Amino acid sequence: MPPAERVAENLNRGLHALFAADPRVFLLGEDVLDPYGGAFKVTRGLSSRYPDRVITTPISEGAIVGAANGLALAGDRAIVEVMFGDFVTLAFDQIVNFAAKSVSMYGRRLPMHLLVRCPVGGNRGYGPTHSQSLQKHLVGVPDLALFEVSPFHDNVRLLERLLDRGEPCVLFEDKGLYAERMLTGGRVDELYRFDWLDAGETVARAYVDDPGAADWVIVAPGGMARRALAAARELLVELELSCQVIVPSQLYPFDPEPLLPAVAGAGRVCVVEEGVAGGTWGGEVAHRLYDRLWGRLRQPVLQVHSRDRVIPTAPHLEREVLVQTATIAHAIREAAGA
């Protein structure tokens, strides 16, 4: 049996499927043309097959998203590749004040088929301005939906769903995931299996044996999934603490409903993210879970973030700043009194 495709290959296949299915789909970004095919090769092959709909752009994220906004406003479907997610801040006005507002500010509901793809995350030695996870800065904007790639969620389906929403979406893609294999067949490895907490297969759950017997639930976005799973394995082997790992594909608006039975059953939950603390997605998740399960939680929701520091380039210093497997395991150990 051939190995599962890598996450970058799965994303690439999803983009090719969108272009093949709809002549209104356009892609804009820096260095997206072949033979380069994007900084992380996710757009490889698209410009050769669809030369009139793949547009390479100057280095101006505001202009790129602005042009994509115009396409979406005119009824086309626009995908933007921001080369490094750190620079989505340069398009903040176009995303927040134009794209998101355009859905509802013209007196009637106006579909905006716009997808902004943002490679994020560290642990690759790219330094302070190319390694951040800035998801929290876009949480809470009306009519703007946020998603994150994971090895559990098929990107062919995900990309189609996002571009069909009729409201602008931002898709965060942890750079460390691109070379990882997609997870299929309900198995993570010889120890962990996975299933779905919702009918639409948007919320993945990894567990050992009995999903109802977990001591802790770890909620993590896709980029943190492997580190969360590694921490869960460490806690199981060393302390016999059983942890479920829940990975939602949609970050905002966040629906806590699929998570409630699992979290209520364990009574202890840890939310992990690579960004720094303060006004975060993790804080939004904690708030929603507190609101629904206040009387059933055994202790406050544990939140794990990276240190409040500029991300160093040197790998050994970068690891000290960003959340690692050991960071998650240590936090749960402390909270469990172990």
Name the token pair of 187: 């198995």
Catalytic site residue from 16, 113, 130, 330? 130
Output DSSP code: residue 240: -
CA–CA separation, 323 and 326 (whole Å): 8
Q: Please give the order of strands across the beta sheet that includes 54-56.
A: 54-56, 25-29, 77-81, 114-120, 169-174, 145-148, 250-252
* 89: exposed, middle or buried (Cβ count in 10 Å: 0-12, 13-18, 19+): middle
CA–CA separation, 104 and 101 (whole Å): 6
Q: Are 320 and 307 in contact (CB under 8 A)?
A: yes
The set of residues, in sequence order, having a beta carbon less than 8 Å from that of 93 and lying 6+ positions away, is 62
Identify the bridge partners of residue 79 per DSSP, sorted by sequence position: 27, 115
CA–CA separation, 91 and 29 (whole Å): 13
Q: What angle do CA 10, 144, 263 make, to 5 degrees?
A: 75
Among the listed residues 311, 314, 256, the one whose alpha carbon sits nearest the alpha carbon of residue 286:
256
Is 130 annotated as catalytic? yes
Alpha-helical segments (H) within the chain: 7-21, 46-49, 61-73, 92, 100-102, 155-164, 225-239, 260-266, 281-293, 315-321, 325-336
- Chain Cα centroid distance, residue 137: 14
Instruction: Count other C-beta atoms under 10 Å from residue 174's C-beta.
Output: 27
Among the listed residues 265, 272, 278, 230, the one whose alpha carbon sits nearest the alpha carbon of residue 247:
272
**Catalytic positions, written as ranges:** 130
